[in-house]
Amino acid sequence: MNELTKPAIVVPEGVATTELATRDLVVGDGPEAQPGRVVQVHYVGVTFASGREFDSSWEEDRPFKFAVGGGRAIKGLDRGVRGMKAGGRREIIVPPRLGYGRQSPSPLIPADSTLIFVVDLLTVVGGARPGLTGSA
Given the residues 48, 54, 93, 109, the one annotated as active site? 54
Contact 11, 46 (CB under 8 A): yes
Instruction: Give me the catalytic one of 43, 48, 109, 120.
Output: 43
Q: Which of 48, 78, 93, 100 is catalytic?
A: 100
Look at 81 and 59; give whichever has higher pLDDT.
81
The one-character DSSP state at 133 is -
User: pTM for the whole thing?
Assistant: 0.89
Q: Is 117 a catalytic residue?
A: yes
Residue 1 has pLDDT above 50, yes or no: no
In CATH terms, the fold of domain 21-125 is: Chitinase A; domain 3 (3.10.50)
Output 130 or 59, whichever has higher pLDDT. Answer: 59
Would you call 48 a catalytic residue per the annotation?
no
Q: What is the mean pLDDT of residues 25-45?
A: 97
Q: Which of 27, 17, 18 is nearest to 84 (CA)?
A: 27
- What length does the chain have? 136
36 close to 68: Cβ distance less than 8 angstroms? yes
Domain regions of the chain by residue span: 21-125
Going by C-alpha positions, the residue among 46, 42, 91 that lies closest to residue 62 is: 42
For residue 110, give the 3-state DSSP assignment.
coil
